Structure 1
Amino acid sequence: MVNRLARAQSPYLQQHAANPVDWWEWGQEAFAEARRRGVPVLLSVGYSSCHWCHVMAEESFEDDRTAAVLNEHFVPVKVDREERPDVDAVYMEAVQAATGQGGWPMTVFLTPDGEPFYFGTYFPPEPRHGMPGFRQVLEGVRAAWRDRRDEVGEVAARIVRELSGRQLDYGRAPAPAEAELHAALMELTREYDATYGGFGGAPKFPPSMVLEFLLRHHARTGSEAALQMATDTCEAMARGGIYDQLGGGFARYAVDRTFTVPHFEKMLYDNALLCRVYAHLWRATGSDLARRVALETADFLVGELRTEQGGFASALDADSEIPQGSREVRPTKGGGGAHGEGAYYVWTVDELREVLGEEDAEFAARYYGVTPEGNFEDGASVLRLVDGELASGERIASVRQRLLAARARRPRPGRDDKVVAAWNGLAIAALAEIGAYFDRPDLVAAALDAADLLVRVHMDAQGRLARTSREGVAGDNAGVLEDYADVAEGFLALAGVTGEGVWLEFAGLLLDTVLRHFAGGDGTFYDTADDAEALIRRPQDPTDNAAPSGWTAAAGALLSYAAYTGSAEHRAAAERALGVVGALAARAPRFIGWGLAVAEAALDGPREVAVAGPGDDPATRALHRTALLGTAPGAVVACGEPNSEEFALLRDRPLVDGRPAAYVCRRFACAAPTTEASALAEQVR
């Protein structure tokens, strides 16, 4: 049986195309079918690199008996949460409200009107560890729908009423001032893991946006505590198993407190955010480790996630195939059968000997922390950096290359090759800056290619975005707030690095759409446009989780755009949006990290730097690079010919004594222009 999902654009939906379940995509047709048949909807939400989504699929959705029950008594609907974050958000809110927790796969039972009445995440095929079996759940829901439908309807209606009443109004809260940002730092200090770095316990996620706040706070105030937390956390992650010591790039999170054993999926958004953080750490400290990790992660993005069309794929799977009888690829904890979680990445001592020989295997085992006991039941180990300061030197370089070559012969993890606009915006910003910092024009070129794809494929003449594309074809899913804000962020970074004003124009077009279609009253934002598909409620979430929320990302892009253009409207919108940061700074700083980073930029100005000079003059290039390397939070940089119309910042900015010059302004006050890079460096730190 090949179901409707064979025609879907999403790789995740296509993974379920051969299930015996008669899946529908999300849409009015599925709900009309449920009304016609008088049955409830089973909504199953996941994503392609989700390990437990694969497990539930193998255990339940590939099972003929389970599929028969689903097909007869439900309309099963499959949703890729990365394609439809709005659908995911509104029903995840219901799941969390009802159960106190959430996660994927998400399993929700709906009335034919889309109202939720029973919730869960992963269900095993049979009762296990206090969880009911999935077939048991199906029979219970079926019986309730058949025998107590009025009661089910009342429960569903009550849930929708409660969700609809959860509107946020932080617009009357002022933007955070010095006191709120200091309070956020103090709370982060209390939550900081001084032994292993990061915040909180297991599982431990890379706190990329909080790290950006800490670096900006240090730059603005000189706080050594902020810098120390950022430095130590970055070092712990870079040395841990959460970082791929051979191929570069970070896994989604660590299952332990020590950043040792990862959940092996690699996401575009994590790596885009983290390579930018490490580049900013290098900018602040000169750390060789930070430089190496920033460049390796950027090279991972280009080498592993870049698509033929020039965009960046969403993710690499945690699982990969394990050939029968293989000694080179071994299942890890949680893996087994035809697939193993992390099988591509882990090593046993015997496998090191097979690839490297006895002497180099002993060296590599000591260097990377590979032991006979391993991290998993079968003796496999995650590679960590446990001996030596850096992965440098001829011997370790040779070991690394041989291990990489051997690993390349293993079955590779699956790749979700859909292009998500928001996450590509984050990658564009990171690659543009890292290319400029480290004289890597190839990385800037990769950022430009991705930006060109977004303009050509995702963006229309009215400034509206499609959220996803695949193989150069845009999907039907409308962009959400994070798409507009993160793509604008990427375009603004490109404008600063390349000196091409067209990227500022594109960012302005997107931000005008944000103000027109996503803004609520008094500084609030919604995740979906005012003309988007109506769901049981209009999603609205200001908190930063795996990536910046659309709300805080919009605040940051609006602030930078205002600094470039002098637009009072965009500046006022950014400041109103930051009210939510002031409200959450002291009590939940880990979940408003990007908002705190934007607030640091607002308090600092942000500084506006105009570099006026011929593009082919080495002095212009030296001033431009110095401006980009400035640590002033959120500083914007415009570089071009004197009095150029490309940027408002360059108007009335002549050469000084016939030499290229830099002009630095802050809060409507400008310093004297300088022609010396050393003097400029003092003005942008």
Structure 2
Amino acid sequence: MANRLEGSTSPYLLQHKDNPVDWWPWSPEAFAEARRRDVPVLISVGYAACHWCHVMAHESFEDDAIAARLNDGFVAVKVDREERPDVDAVYMTATQAMTGQGGWPMTVFATPDGEPFFCGTYFPKQHFGQLLDSVTTAWRDQRDDVIKQGAAVVQAVGGAQLAGGPTAPISATLLAASASGLAREQDALHGGFGGAPKFPPHMNLLFLLRHHERTGSAEALEIVRHTCEQMARGGIYDQLAGGFARYSVDATWTVPHFEKMLYDNALLLRVYTQLARVTGDALARRIADETAAFLLRDLGTPRGGLASALDADTEGVEGLTYAWTPAELVGVLGQDDGVWAADLFRVTTAGTFEHGRSVLVLARDIDEADPSLVERWHDVRQRLLAARDERPQPARDDKVVASWNGLAITALAEHGSAGSRTAAIRLAEVLADRHLVDGRLRRVSRDGVAGEPAGVLEDYGCVAEAFLAVYQLTADPRWLDHARQLLDVALARFGNGAGGFHDTADDAEKLVARPADPTDNATPSGASAICAALVTFAALTGETSYREAADAALATLGPLIEGHPRFAGYAAAVGEAALTGPYEIAVATSDPADLLVEAAFRHAPGGSVIVVGTPDQPGVPLLADRPLTDGAATAYVCRGFVCERPVTTPDDLLARLRS
């Protein structure tokens, strides 16, 4: 036998191609081989930027003795959770049911039919070796009990996905309860929610921003502002190159888990962009600009599309690229600037990280400081970044994931700079040309070639929303047509018959259970993402069937929004847009550079739809019967295709939106 990962398109699987373990990729052939040999299956799930995945690989999967025991008694299957979120979802549900927690690497022992009977996450080498022996013994001597346990787990997993649960239509009362729940759980001192480890709550912040815009809630806005400031000044934010790490290992945002994920940065770009528009805050604007630059500079791939992640480790050492000592600062900057930078970035001899090194944080406000101080700060950052670029750099997972690129396209379109808008259109072309195949989405591509995994619901929702964002930038009806195509597939193939959605299509590969996770976690759930696209599409076209589908799906998410708001942030944000209308803003003009156009994009509440073009422009329903006023550019603010009196000045448009 031999390791079968050599030809994989997944960077994560390729990391394991030289292991002595006889890995199989996820495939029917792997399970057929387990049946032929009458052995259980080890399903090992992780992703390329995962630190503890690397640790377990070094300790166990690169060890000849462990590999020999694995090869002798199991069929070993390696899964990239980012390529196969459907497989990950099924076995994560099983792992959480068995252990009360989950994470990656995920370690699952299953029957040759794929039924899990023992689940866990990271195991140190000694424990993993003992576990292999225990599972081998149980499979040989207690087969019936093992199979019964597997069947019971599968039944429990399947039961968790059944349709027909309680519903709650979106209402002002429900969204107020969700906002109040978040307020109770906030960390008033450090921002965010809960304790360590602390993840950037981007979707909750997006919801609270929209809640503030609709209700005027000062509390909701302050939670967002405070959390965004604390994250931006913390070590979770790269103070030199921009971009956010996946999470902070502490409650103060000081020491990150160093991988940088595309989806986090895309969602945070939306939050900081909208916060800057609502408040005019200089810090928020800078972070938005730097995050957009990070996405395009550090995650752009040669064949188009944005890469998935930068690794947590560099040459097997976590944080090697990013941490500093005072002496290193002086060595790069000289004595005066080095001491000044150590004070500004809180770099001490004791250190905040390992081996007396520190992660850079911003000790005090700099954005509105004296201009000479700001100039010095920019100079110091540039010199430190140039020196850091000479260090070994983290690896990059360069596969292009459809849904995550969709999130980035929407974020770049909303960011609104000329460069961001151009990039959003270019990235949308990549998805349309490469991932949209025969009317269906492929989830991943790499080096310009689409992979085999079919798109899941979050891909359809996030990419449809992205195409609609680009349609609003361009008024090109083909993007509306692409979005319609994706939404029609989602409604026909993913619906559960009770208003909600499964995460996989009805003609997708059959797993031991059909996943349907409604919770927003690291990324929007498929259900939340498809609701967002349905609400936007209905607002742009006036086609009520899509809005009815969105309202029905949001009602299935209502109890989650109200009762567990930390896990329903995107759903709640979509609910705010739906309850607001959303606003439909049509600017009739022959000049896309008109100040009225800029005002519309700058001041529209989150979730609004905006189109710009000539009156009655083909393919743009919102511009039908929208004449100019005395030859001047004219803005129409509507909801449900019912419009208020048109306006012709930015001030009047702003007053109309604020009213």
CA contact (8 A) 2:206 2:271 kept: yes
Distance in 1 between the 2:471 and 2:602 partners?
15
Aligned counterpart in structure 2 of residue 650 of structure 1, from 623, 633, 640: 623
Distance in 2 between the 1:121 and 1:483 partners?
26
Structure 1 residue 613 corresponds to structure 2 residue 613: no
Structure 1 runs (4+) greater than 4 angstroms displaced: none
Structure 1 residue 559 corresponds to structure 2 residue 532: no
Distance in 1 between the 2:249 and 2:2 partners?
36
CA contact (8 A) 1:273 1:427 kept: yes
CA contact (8 A) 2:262 2:408 kept: yes
Superimposed CA distance per residue, residues 335-367 of structure 1 (whole angstroms, 9 cap, x where no aligned partner): xxxx21111111011111111111111000001
Cα offset for 1:652?
Answer: 1.1
Cα offset for 1:171?
Answer: 7.0
Stretch of structure 1 that moved more, 86-95 or 576-585: 576-585
SS at match of 2:36: helix
Stretch of structure 1 that moved more, 659-668 or 139-148: 659-668
Superimposed CA distance per residue, residues 340-396 of structure 1 (whole angstroms, 9 cap, x where no aligned partner): 111111101111111111111100000111010001241100000003433962211
Structure 1 residue 594 corresponds to structure 2 residue 570: yes
- Equivalent in the alignment of 1:417: 398
Matches within 5 A, 1:521-560: 521-560=497-536
Stretch of structure 1 that moved more, 198-207 or 577-586: 577-586
CA contact (8 A) 2:366 2:374 kept: no
Q: 1:491 is matched by which residue type in structure 2? A: F
CA contact (8 A) 1:216 1:631 kept: no
Q: 1:630 is matched by which residue type in structure 2? A: H
Q: 1:553 is matched by which residue type in structure 2? A: A
Superimposed CA distance per residue, residues 44-85 of structure 1 (whole angstroms, 9 cap, x where no aligned partner): 000000000000000000000000000111000000000000
- Equivalent in the alignment of 1:333: none
Cα offset for 1:2?
Answer: 6.5
- Equivalent in the alignment of 1:677: 650
Superimposed CA distance per residue, residues 201-241 of structure 1 (whole angstroms, 9 cap, x where no aligned partner): 11110000000011000000000000000000000000000
CA contact (8 A) 1:239 1:386 kept: yes
SS at match of 1:684: helix
Structure 1 residue 347 corresponds to structure 2 residue 324: yes
Q: 1:242 is matched by which residue type in structure 2? A: I
- Equivalent in the alignment of 1:129: none
- Equivalent in the alignment of 2:633: 660
Aligned CA RMSD, in angstroms, stands at 1.3
CA contact (8 A) 2:109 2:117 kept: yes
Aligned counterpart in structure 2 of residue 640 of structure 1, from 594, 608, 613: 613
Q: 2:633 is matched by which residue type in structure 1? A: P
Distance in 2 between the 1:171 and 1:115 partners?
25
- Equivalent in the alignment of 2:122: 122
Distance in 2 between the 1:285 and 1:431 partners?
19
Stretch of structure 1 that moved more, 366-375 or 495-504: 495-504
Distance in 2 between the 1:226 and 1:393 partners?
30
- Equivalent in the alignment of 1:56: 56
Structure 1 residue 404 corresponds to structure 2 residue 398: no
Distance in 2 between the 1:198 and 1:48 partners?
27
Superimposed CA distance per residue, residues 610-668 of structure 1 (whole angstroms, 9 cap, x where no aligned partner): 1111135x4xx322221112242411011111110121101111111112211111134
Distance in 1 between the 2:16 and 2:242 partners?
30
SS at match of 1:351: helix
CA contact (8 A) 1:44 1:76 kept: yes
- Equivalent in the alignment of 1:33: 33
- Equivalent in the alignment of 1:158: 152
Distance in 2 between the 1:376 and 1:564 partners?
50
Structure 1 residue 309 corresponds to structure 2 residue 282: no
Distance in 1 between the 2:500 and 2:568 partners?
15
Aligned counterpart in structure 2 of residue 459 of structure 1, from 436, 439, 459: 436
Cα offset for 1:483?
Answer: 0.3
Distance in 2 between the 1:674 and 1:20 partners?
70
Q: 2:182 is matched by which residue type in structure 1? A: L
Cα 1:294–1:2 change in 2 (3 A) is: farther
Distance in 1 between the 2:385 and 2:220 partners?
36
- Equivalent in the alignment of 1:336: none
Superimposed CA distance per residue, residues 281-328 of structure 1 (whole angstroms, 9 cap, x where no aligned partner): 00100000000000000000000001012200000001002xxxxxxx
Cα 1:171–1:615 change in 2 (3 A) is: farther
Distance in 2 between the 1:634 and 1:123 partners?
44
Q: 2:146 is matched by which residue type in structure 1? A: V
- Equivalent in the alignment of 1:369: 346
Structure 1 residue 626 corresponds to structure 2 residue 602: no
Distance in 2 between the 1:558 and 1:494 partners?
15
Distance in 2 between the 1:494 and 1:622 partners?
20
- Equivalent in the alignment of 2:447: 471
- Equivalent in the alignment of 1:329: none
Cα offset for 1:170?
Answer: 5.7
Distance in 1 between the 2:330 and 2:242 partners?
23
Q: 1:348 is matched by which residue type in structure 2? A: T
Cα 1:366–1:194 change in 2 (3 A) is: same
Distance in 1 between the 2:409 and 2:393 partners?
26
CA contact (8 A) 2:163 2:496 kept: no
Stretch of structure 1 that moved more, 624-633 or 547-556: 624-633
Matches within 5 A, 1:87-486: 87-126=87-126, 133-169=127-163, 173-321=167-315, 339-390=316-367, 393-434=374-415, 436=416, 440-462=417-439, 464-486=440-462
Cα offset for 1:442?
Answer: 1.8
Cα offset for 1:522?
Answer: 2.3
Distance in 1 between the 2:551 and 2:165 partners?
10
Structure 1 residue 488 corresponds to structure 2 residue 469: no
Distance in 2 between the 1:534 and 1:588 partners?
30
SS at match of 1:194: coil
Distance in 2 between the 1:450 and 1:144 partners?
51
CA contact (8 A) 1:41 1:110 kept: yes
Distance in 2 between the 1:672 and 1:652 partners?
13
Distance in 2 between the 1:502 and 1:667 partners?
23
Distance in 2 between the 1:173 and 1:586 partners?
11
CA contact (8 A) 1:174 1:576 kept: no
Distance in 2 between the 1:521 and 1:545 partners?
24
